[in-house]
Structure formats: structure tokens, C-alpha cells
Chain A
């Protein structure tokens, strides 16, 4: 009898997913990191990486999936007020998922090229716009430290104007809220959960050290795609 209940439970779950796929709603799952949690030490501790990935990012994904299911229902039923009411939850949780997915790719352990300065077209673009990589880092650190509350600091390329910009966003707002043609190259999470266990309230130290594990190879790839 136990076997039977097990079988029905499994097929029920599959039925749910099947229905969702028939509806065309794609839900999201937590992307894996391409490095161990402890690989970014001592810049970011393994404990922070694990919590950040398995708890925070997962929560954003779970809540985002819930919100888009509710949105899908509301749209099918033609319930405009519910659809609009869900927008802030979608922006927050969806933005959290999008931003953190980019963040994991922005980081790499030192032995896999983390912290190595960019060469090629991105390197020269940085020297052109900010006169040197050090100046860019100083600028981003200053903006990150001055950000009140929670948010992100970004190095982005404006794909219309073909220009590099440094921007900050509040909470989990994705970068496009600051400009529809902005494409993120490097994003740094300055929410307190990203550094508190290790750096406590000294956000500037976190910002200084994170550059040692920034994956400029990925940033260069994105840049070359937008500005060939």
C-alpha cells in the first residue's frame, strides 16, 4: 500500500508540472556555481557563499515562481488589479534572481582567473572612460560604500551609446530600471547579507577585497558581444 501512495504522489507532482508546461509557464531553479563555496576565500568566506546561494538566492527563486504563477492565473482570469499588485513582488524577487545569477558568473576563484585585470577591448575601453582600472575600482567602491541601505553597484555598457557607465540600483532593482539599453558587465551585491558575517559593518573592506575574485573574462565576453 505504501508503494501505491508513493506512486500516486509522484504522478501527482508530474501532473502539476505537466499542466504548467502545457500552460507555457516556465519556472526557475537555482543555478549551480562553477566553483566550490570555499573557493573564493579569503575575499568572501565559504559560509557567506553557502548562505547567499542556498538560502537567499533560493528564496528569491521560490518567491518569484510563486509570483509568476499567481500572475499567470490573474492574467488568464483577466484580473487586472491582482496582476498589477503582483508587480512589486515580481520586480523584487525576479530582480533578485536575475541579479544573483549574474553575480555568481561575475566571481571566480583566483586560480581560475579571478582578479586578473581585463585585457582586450574591455581593458582599453576602461582605460579610455576611466583613465585606469584603479580609478574605476575606486569609483565603484566609493559609490558602493555610499549607497544607503541595500542595493547593487554595477559596471555596465550602454549598448546604444557604446559607452561604459557605473551605476547603482536600490534593493533588487535590475539594472534596466536605470536605463533600458544598459547591459551589466560586473555587479557587486552590497546588501548586508553579502558581507556581514565576515566584514560586519565595514563595507569598504568588502569592496576592496572582492576585486581579487572578480571574473573579468566573463565581463569581457559580454562586452565583446555588445560592442564587437
Chain B
């Protein structure tokens, strides 16, 4: 199905597609498209930067102000410019010491990858946000959707998405990682890929056939209600398609070059065998099940 976005209304036209989309789904798609449309609209108008900004104006997800309580309405008028209080993104450290992943990912790699690359992205993002009042009030997810611009990314997209991607990546690894997933995640993998060995092979194959820079993800697809392996280029993340990522592997050369030079196969295998955090993936999947119905749990009958 396709939709067209023009300034004040959303026009959904469905072709002869067999997939049924429920109204909840529709609202989500509406909101996502509306966000970037409203952003573009506001950008197009002659934007007076000295005028205080009502954050509600471009956050299509908030209800109209007469429906909010008095406390909430008052909060909307606490603006950035008059009070001169502003907050920016900070560089979050990985949840382990830099040498905790040795010998599979060296301390040097993490020092440069996190300390220089990731830090650089955070600083560039903050510089963009300083200058752009509209983007400043967005949450990270909103930032990524808005700057992705439905496929035509704005310059801020790369830095915003890379900040998120790297945060996600550090948390997808743990010291003493690897082995097998457990509980519900293992069951879901076996259901969607046949066996864990199949999944592992497909994941590594995906990592090796990626041309150029990019990421490999294990995602939970919302529409299809199943797990899938997704390859993305440069900074693109499955969040832009509203899928829920569970694990990621950074295939940009800076992620492995210092340790493995051009041996991508060894890097991907080591990640699967020794670095991947199935605990993190399990926790993420548990949270994801609040949004995606993966079926009734099998309760054993006494």
C-alpha cells in the first residue's frame, strides 16, 4: 500500500494488497509520516527563531492541550530560550570495562571505536541540535524517524542513527558472551530459522556478503511477527521500518580492522562464539513482546 504526504493531511490509498492492516497499525504509520511532514512544513515556513517555541506544535503524538491536565499544560510553556536551560546527549560508556572483551575485541579497539568514533558522533549530534530548534525537542526515536525523511535522509540522520546504533551495539555484547540463547529466544529462533545452527550460518553469511559499510541485525519484525536477519548500509537502523532490533553487529571496517585486519569471517565467527550477549537479546525480546503478539504461551497441562 502507498501513501502520500502533503502538508496538512494524510492520504492513504491501498492498492490490491492482501495484507490486512488494523487501525492501531494505521495510527502508528500515520504518526510516523505526520512527524516528518510536520517537521518539513515548519521548516518551510519562515521560521522566526526569536519566538519561543511550543514543543507541542510538532510532536504529533501528544494529545491537544485542552485534554491535558493543568500541570502538563504548564510544563509545555517551560521553553528553552527564556530559561536558558538546555540538555544534550552524552556519551554513554559500554556496560563493561574496556579490556573485558579481550582477546576477542581488544581494549585498543574499544578505546578508539567508543572514545573517538562514537564520541565524535555524539558531539556532532549535539552541534546539530544546538543550531536546530525543531530537532532539539525530539526524543532519539523521533529524531531518527524525522531525519530519515522517509528514505531521503537529512544530514543529521547519520550522526543520530550512529549514536543510537553504537549504544545498542555495546549492549549487544558482554564479557563471556556467545554460547546459546536460552528460553523463549531459543524457541523463537528454532521456530523461525529451523535451528540455531541455521541461524548462526545465515547471520555470518549476511555479515560477509555486506558490500561496504553497514550493520547486521537480528530483528523482530512487527508486521510478520517473526524474527529475521537484516542487513543495513551505513547508518540505517531497523527502527526506521518500525521493526524491533534484538542484536546488532557492526560491520564498518573500524569495528574490526585493528584486531582482524581484513579477516571479516574471523571477526563474525568470534562475535557469535564469544561476544554476543544473549541475555541482552532475551531482555529486549521480552520487552518487545509487549508490542508484538508472538502467540499464546505454551502452558503445560497438569
Contacts and interface: CB of A to CB of B under 8 A. Distances in A.
Interface of A: 51, 55-56, 59, 88, 92, 148-151, 170-172, 191-193, 196-197, 200-201
B257 interface: yes
A193 B235 contact: no
A192 B235 CA distance: 15
A192 B233 contact: no
A193 B235 CA distance: 18
B257 A150 contact: no
Interface string B217-241: 0000000000000000111000000
A55 B253 CA distance: 14
Contacts of A92: 211
B258 A197 contact: yes
Nearest to B233: A149
A150 B120 contact: no
Contacts, number: 50
Contacts of A56: 262
Contacts of B254: 192, 196, 200-201
Nearest to B261: A51
A151 B158 CA distance: 16
A92 B233 CA distance: 14
Contact of A55 (B117, B120, B258, B262): B262
A85 B212 CA distance: 18
B252 interface: yes
B286 interface: no
B210 to A, nearest CB: 10
Contacts of B158: 148
Closest 10 CB pairs of A and B: A171-B212, A192-B253, A149-B213, A149-B234, A150-B212, A201-B116, A196-B257, A55-B262, A92-B211, A150-B213
Residue from the set B116, B120, B235, B257 with the largest chain A CB neighbour count within 10 Å = B257
Given A150-B213, A172-B212, A196-B257, 15 more contacts: A55-B261, A92-B211, A148-B158, A148-B234, A149-B212, A149-B213, A149-B214, A149-B234, A149-B235, A171-B211, A192-B257, A196-B253, A196-B258, A201-B112, A201-B120
